[in-house]
A and B are shown apart, each in its own frame.
Chain A
Amino acid sequence: MPRDSAAVLSGEPAPVFQTGSVRDPDLLAQEESQRNRAAWDRFVDRTLVEWGRNPAALEDEGFIPPSYAAVSRACEVAMFLRDKGLPPPTKIVPDGEGGICFERAEGESSVSLNINADQTMELLTFDDCRLRARYPVG
């Protein structure tokens, strides 16, 4: 037996399929992609479609619910980004002026994709709450 066999054989024995290091990276990527896709679908089905169906539920003092056009545009954008394999937003919120915002926050960074009532769009990126970039998109 080689001198370092003891080191090689040390540690808790475990079935190979439970060992993270031998998971196929492609499989992990595929799983993540499926999770992302499912999350996008939940936002569309549970949030955007519901706002389109019943915008009055969001009405409030000085608060304009998302317009039908903004909801339609947001659905298109969500499905486009989903099909591009991008990670889903952490929140989708009404902007109170007839538009919709997709927000994604990761640690100290955050991104806002604003879909305005007139269907124009703007992307804003923040790092530790400081605005790093903003530009029209679409």
Chain B
Amino acid sequence: MTTAACGHAIQWDERPAMGDGTEPIEDDEYLYRRVSLPYFDRTQGGEPSPWAFRPRKYDITGISLFRAKYTTPEEIARNARGKQYYIAVLRAGDIRSHGLDVVPIPQGHAPGHVEIPSLTHANRRTDAAEEAIQVLARKLCLKILGPFP
């Protein structure tokens, strides 16, 4: 059991029974978000830059996160480009409590892939999107793991 800076107790070895990835996301599920190195400084600590949640060109239907019950931080960070990544840990219920939806989109992605559909590349410059990425980075990150690999 680990207690994050915000006081949430995180049971890392908790792996509930898995489905096919289409089952609804429970409020108490933990989610992982891959964070590029420039967006967090382990020596400074604190929260990641909001830009870690800014939609990219490929985020057509929403930004991606992964369900902790389907994967590990190491798997999320794995890539063929030799890049390292931090992994931000968030909780689905916290995201919803700030008015953002999070939905399972396993088709065509790694197992446990989910998206926040209100944050897309097309709307990334809107006031609502600018506020949402601030909330995700500054209020909802429970912990930053890594970097991996």
Binding site for B on A (CB under 8 A): 58, 60-63, 90-91, 93-96, 101, 103, 105, 110, 112, 124, 126, 129-131, 134
CB of B70, distance to nearest CB on chain A (Å): 21
- How many residues of chain B are within 8 Å of chain A by beta carbon? 23
* Residues A60 and B138 in contact, CB atoms below 8 Å apart: no
CB of B148, distance to nearest CB on chain A (Å): 15
Compute how far the CA of A91 lies from the CA of B58 in the bound complex, rounded to whole angstroms.
25
Compute how far the CA of A101 lies from the CA of B38 in the bound complex, rounded to whole angstroms.
11
Give the tally of cross-chain contacts (CB within 8 A). 52
Compute how far the CA of A60 lies from the CA of B81 in the bound complex, rounded to whole angstroms.
8
CB of A22, distance to nearest CB on chain B (Å): 33
- Which of A58, A93, A95 has the most CB atoms of chain B within a 10 A radius of its CB? A93
Q: Which residues from A are CB-within-8-Å of B138?
A: 105, 110, 129
Q: A60-B83, A62-B56, A63-B56 are in contact. Are A93 and B130 (CB under 8 A)?
A: no
CB of B117, distance to nearest CB on chain A (Å): 18
B49 at the interface (CB under 8 A from A): yes
Q: Which residues from A are CB-within-8-Å of B57?
A: 62
* Residues B135 and A91 in contact, CB atoms below 8 Å apart: no
Q: A63-B36, A110-B134 are in contact. Are A95 and B54 (CB under 8 A)?
A: yes
Compute how far the CA of A58 lies from the CA of B83 in the bound complex, rounded to whole angstroms.
9
Nearest residue (CB) in A for B85 is A60
Q: Which residues from B are CB-within-8-Å of A62?
A: 56-58
Cross-chain contact of B38 among A90, A93, A126 (Cβ < 8 A)? A93
Compute how far the CA of A129 lies from the CA of B53 in the bound complex, rounded to whole angstroms.
14
CB of A21, distance to nearest CB on chain B (Å): 32
Q: Which residues from B are CB-within-8-Å of A61?
A: 58, 79, 81
Q: Which residues from A are CB-within-8-Å of B20?
A: none
Compute how far the CA of A112 lies from the CA of B39 in the bound complex, rounded to whole angstroms.
14
Cross-chain contact of A58 among B38, B44, B139 (Cβ < 8 A)? B38
* Residues B127 and A129 in contact, CB atoms below 8 Å apart: no
Q: Which residues from A are CB-within-8-Å of B79?
A: 61
- Contact pattern, B 22-63, Cβ under 8 Å of A = 1, otherwise 0: 000000000000001011010010100111001011100000
* Residues A129 and B139 in contact, CB atoms below 8 Å apart: yes
Q: Which residues from B are CB-within-8-Å of A63?
A: 36, 56
* Residues A103 and B49 in contact, CB atoms below 8 Å apart: yes
16 more CB-based (< 8 A) A-B contacts, given A60-B83, A63-B56: A58-B38, A60-B36, A60-B81, A61-B58, A61-B79, A62-B56, A90-B44, A93-B39, A93-B49, A93-B51, A103-B50, A105-B46, A110-B134, A124-B130, A126-B131, A131-B131
Nearest residue (CB) in A for B125 is A122
